[in-house]
Each structure stands twice: as structure tokens, then as C-alpha cells.
Amino acid sequence: MIKSEPIKKDSYVEIKIILLKPEERVEGIPEDTRKVPFEARIKGFLVNDAYIGEEVEIITALKRIVSGTLIAVNPPFKHDFGEPVRELLEIGWEVDELWKQ
């Protein structure tokens, strides 16, 4: 498998984490649902350069550090507002800094 260029630190990305393995899921849910892991997808800014499929850390909009498997770069919002605009993504951090002054 040939690796492409690494995704650069500070890129806006999406990761996937497994919250519950299939054997950890409750019995009261449908069998086909219980056979698959319960996952979360989280968006944020990449802490270090990485490749798709690698375990990475991101910083979320709420400044939480979360680890997971890198699955997408510059992921679009699913509700059709188009591609993310970096300046709009960072504005919350800027406002937070202004409030601290």
C-alpha cells in the first residue's frame, strides 16, 4: 500500500472512536444492532501530522483533546452548509480569548 502525503497538523479532521464493543452492548437492542460496535465521530483540529487510518489526537471546538482513528480531512457538515470555513471554526477560540482579557 502506497501512502499519500501526510495530513498536516492543525488540519480540520474527523475521527472515529469505539464507545462500546459488540459484546459490551445491552441485550435489549435488536440483534443486528448489537452485532456492531457503538461508535462516535468527532471533528476537530489535528495535533500532529498523520495519515488516514492512524490513531491520532485532535482538539475539539471546546478545546478537549480526543484520541481516535483518523477517517476524514476537512469533513463537510452533513446538513448542507457546504465545506467548513476555517475562520468561522476558529472564531469561538478568539471570542474566548477576548473574554479572558
User: pLDDT 10s per residue in the chain (101 long)?
Assistant: 456 789 999 999 999 999 999 999 999 999 999 999 999 999 999 999 999 999 999 999 999 999 999 999 999 877 767 788 888 888 888 898 899 98
Within-domain flag for 30:
yes
Q: Residues 25, 19: contact at Cβ < 8 Å?
A: no
Within-domain flag for 42:
yes
Print the domain residue range for 85: 12-100
Q: What is the pLDDT of residue 2?
A: 58
Within-domain flag for 50:
yes
Q: What is the pLDDT of residue 88?
A: 85
How many angstroms separate the Cα of 73 from the Cα of each of 23, 55, 57, 67? 31, 14, 14, 15
In this prediction the pTM is 0.74
CB-based contacts of 6, cutoff 8 Å, min separation 6: 49, 50, 51
Within-domain flag for 92:
yes
C-alpha cell at 21: 464493543
Within-domain flag for 4:
no
Within-domain flag for 17:
yes
Q: Number of folded domains in the chain?
A: 1
Within-domain flag for 40:
yes
Within-domain flag for 93:
yes
CB-based contacts of 52, cutoff 8 Å, min separation 6: 7, 70, 71, 72, 73
